Amino acid sequence: MTADAQKETLGFQTEAKQLLHLMIHSLYSNQEVFLRELISNASDAIDKLRFASLSEEDLLESDPDLAIRVEVDKEAGTVTISDNGIGMNREEVIEHLGTIAKSGTAEFLQNLTGDQQKDSQLIGQFGVGFYSAFIVADKVEVLSRRAGDAMETGVHWESMGEAEFSIENVEKAGRGTTIILHLKSDCQDFADDWRVRSVIKKYSDHISVPVLMEKAPVPAAEGEEEDKEKPEDVAPEFEAVNQATALWTRSRSEVSDEEYREFYKHVSHDFEDPLKWSHNKVEGKLEYTSLLYIPRRAPFDLWNREMARGLKLYVQRTFIMDDAEQFLPLYLRFVKGVVDSNDLSLNVSREILQQDPQVDSMRSALTKRVLDMLAKMAKSDSEDYAEFWKEFGQVLKEGPAEDFSNKEKIAGLLRFSTSHNDSEVQDQSLEDYVSRMQEGQEKIFYVVAENFNTAKSSPHLEVFRKKGIEVLLLSERIDDWLMNHLMEFEGKQFQDVARGELDLGEQSEEDKQAQEQLEKDSEGLVERLKGALEERVEAVRATSRLTDSPACLVVGDHDMGAQMRRIMEAAGQAVPDSKPILEINPGHPLVARMDAETDEERFADLASIIFDQANLAEGGQLEDPAAYVGRLNKLLIELSN
């Protein structure tokens, strides 16, 4: 489009409209955050220009001094934030200011409840950036020109924060972006110089770019008259309001907790304080500084594998890229922060990062750093760790499959529900479990089910409860997959109680004889059941694992678990053919009644009912529910007669 084109009026994307509505209706009790967000965006734009200018020096034009400028006009009721960063062209302005290009935005907005306190937490997880301007402004103007583009390609964007915005080309001498906020009547205090200075000091002191404001006039000395006549052609003097040094380059002893918290909000665009952080400088074979944060809340797109993740990468304090995912494994994708290397090349790319052995060494060290931080939190601050586990526990469970070298460390960080307290809260560690193991117990037992109540009430647990042996109660979709990769902890193997024959360790001679007698006494019944259920079961056997239930289903030692099979089938994946093993409790009245049944048709009905009940008890679904109901009704009618 030519510069004298054309003022267009365009509509906001639906999701952007909804977010604007929330901003305009003052979702936040803390209105100051708009300044932090806009200064943070300006800082990012300058970082991007600094990086781009490494290969294209002309982009700096004749203005190499990079800075953010904040101006207030009390009479006009405006705040203006300007940067001489990378800037935007017309298409980028429409893309960045008219739409929200984040996967999962619609789903996120559906979760908003109308409860301001809850919604503000959700918004904090989402990060709103530019749209926060509408917390304090009823009209926002944006002037921008992309670095390297001609002056006449400048863009003027304007919106009242309602359904639409206007955009036109204008001449703009300097590159970068200027945002003019026309303050609402009840937000005029943000047009006050000292108010804005205090907010910048509070939220943006750590930003490595100078944030400039006009120097306050020096008050006249006592006895002197203030010079009221100022030359009109003298440009105002500006001074830096912030420290303008990269926070991570300072010594830990020089940085306050409050500064660490505010820096986290800058790098993450989160609205809540972080849970923990770790700031380290590494010297020796590799030289780099890292500042890593554990968020308090999971981001809204945590389960989107395509989510933007990773650390901000700097090389020799020069910004390189925003989401360098190569420095941490996928199961630690929630970690935020920066890494600043002295060894990597300034022209490093994502492709080079994937092949650089130095990056592999840094990745290994940073991963251990995060796991150590979590281990320290788990040991010394159980409340914070419980909060962390509630938000990120399922993601950490991806670790053992992905990171073999740290499998034992990750296993120590996992938390479970167990039969020790039958609580749905996952607060028991494997270390806790091992410390309570019975004498002679060689395995860590677990059961996997569709939900917690099904796991807690599983027939497979009956003998374990009777003997006082603890069992892990697993009910999350990832759990079966996790256990297939975990294998053991502190030399103790994991054992699925619904897989293979019952093995509680060394049996007493008395127990062995009792089992042999049980099998011998049940031979006839087992053979009859095999005949009645031959299409549905791999085998039938008498068991001593049941005390209250007539039967249960188990899978073979090398077959896929029932829960994993259900998940795979639900996802449309092909699963290998296999049939379960039916284990019966010969001492149960229903099994004894069936054994005494002489009518083979009724025996077959009873066998099918017992099989279906065992399937239901472990959270399975019946292939033919109507047939089950028919058999059960028939049996009830016969019994009532």
The model's pLDDT over 156-165, given as tens digits with 9 standing for 90+, comes to 999 988 878 8
What per-residue confidence (pLDDT) applies to 487? 87
What's the pLDDT at 115?
Answer: 57
Per CATH, the architecture of 511-558+566-640 is what? Answer: Up-down Bundle (1.20)
Domain with CATH 3.40.50.11260 in the chain: 396-496
> Given this model, what pLDDT does residue 226 score?
53
Q: For the chain, what is the mean pLDDT?
A: 85
Of the candidates 162, 187, 157, 180, the one whose C-alpha atom is nearest the C-alpha of residue 26 is 187
Give 620-626 contacts, CB < 8 A, sequence gap 24+.
Answer: 620/553, 620/562, 620/566, 621/566
How far apart are alpha carbons 492 and 443 in whole angstroms? 5
Residue 121 reports pLDDT greater than 90:
no
CATH 1.10.10.10 assigned to domain 396-496? The reply is no
The count of C-alpha atoms lying within 13 angstroms of the C-alpha of 566, restricted to the half-sphere facing its C-beta, is 20
* pLDDT value at residue 103: 44
CATH 3.30.565.10 domain extents, the chain: 8-217+235-240
Give residue-wise pLDDT tens across range 308-333. 788 988 888 777 888 888 899 999 99
**pLDDT tens-digit profile of 408-440?**
999 999 999 999 999 999 999 999 999 999 988
SS3 per residue for 284-330: CCCCEEEEEEECCCCCCCCCCCCCCCCEEEEECCEEEEEEEHHHCCH
How many CA atoms lie less than 13 Å away from 73 in the CB half-sphere? Answer: 11
Eight-state DSSP code of residue 499: B
Residue 49 is which amino acid?
A: L
> Would you tell me how many other CB atoms lie within 10 Å of the CB of residue 100?
23
* The predicted structure's pLDDT at residue 425: 94
Question: pTM of the predicted model, to two decimals?
Answer: 0.74
Most confident of 231-235, 297-301, 340-344, 456-460: 456-460
Return the CATH number of the domain spanning residue range 247-378.
3.30.230.80
pLDDT at 4 over 50: no
pLDDT tier at 114, thresholds 50, 70, 90? low
Question: Longest C-alpha distance within the chain, in Å?
Answer: 120
In the chain, where does the domain assigned CATH 1.20.120.790 lie? Answer: 511-558+566-640
Write the CA distances from 18 to 21, 92, 614, integer angstroms: 5, 21, 49
H helical segments located in 507-549: 509-521, 523-532
Q: What is the CATH number of domain 8-217+235-240?
A: 3.30.565.10
End-to-end CA distance of the chain: 89
Query: C-alpha angle 149/150/154, rounded to 5°?
Result: 85
Q: Is the separation of the CB atoms in 302 and 334 below 8 Å?
A: yes
